[in-house]
Structure 1
């Protein structure tokens, strides 16, 4: 596919991840339910994947710690500042499109 070394690939993937997290922090107007409805994952999914990767490397991270890494602040603080009640339409779309529990650990 390309001539990247494993180290280069890892560095580029890490940079892309950091950019994604930065973008999600800047776009606090985009609700998690919107992300789930459009993309099938949200900030919480991303923090869970981060925690799972840490666990796979022998690093213990709590749910709260991994969420703070993704949100850039304690989750409760982010919720108080940015989270809105989901509309009936958003909830209905989520129920219609939610991934199976085997695909995501949300």
Structure 2
């Protein structure tokens, strides 16, 4: 695969990931953090960092809007649920395990 096609495929996969996350709003960021060690906010930070690497300034709010498909405040108000005690315990256990392994 040539480099241009590879970049197009990677971009399409990224768009598909965002679409998949958008169609599964019931999956909370804390669930993603517990299971995969990243969340939508992480994607926004990576988006912002990669834009910066290319000399394009993207602020965090704009990056989150690109990832969430809407302003973060709107997504949060309509889709984010409070973390359950079980989710918080699982997240803390995940963080402790990461720290112990580093």
TM-score clears 0.5: yes
- Spell out, residue by residue over 1:81-100, the C-alpha distance to the aligned partner (whole angstroms, 9 max, x if none): 00011011100111111356
Pick the aligned partner of 2:77 from 77, 80, 83.
Answer: 80
Question: Match for 1:47 among 37, 44, 48?
Answer: 44
CA–CA distance in structure 2, aligned partners of residues 56 and 93 of structure 1:
34
- 1:16-57 superposed Cα distances (whole Å, 9 cap, x missing partner): 000000111111110000011011100000111011000000
- Structure with the bigger RCO (C-alpha within 8 Å, sep 6+) is 1
Is 1:65–2:42 an aligned residue pair?
Answer: no
Unaligned runs of 5+ in 2: none
Larger proportion of helix = 2
Q: How many residues align?
A: 97
Query: Runs (4+) of structure 1 moved beyond 2 Å?
Result: none
CA RMSD, 1 decimal:
1.0
TM-score, normalised via structure 2 length: 0.92
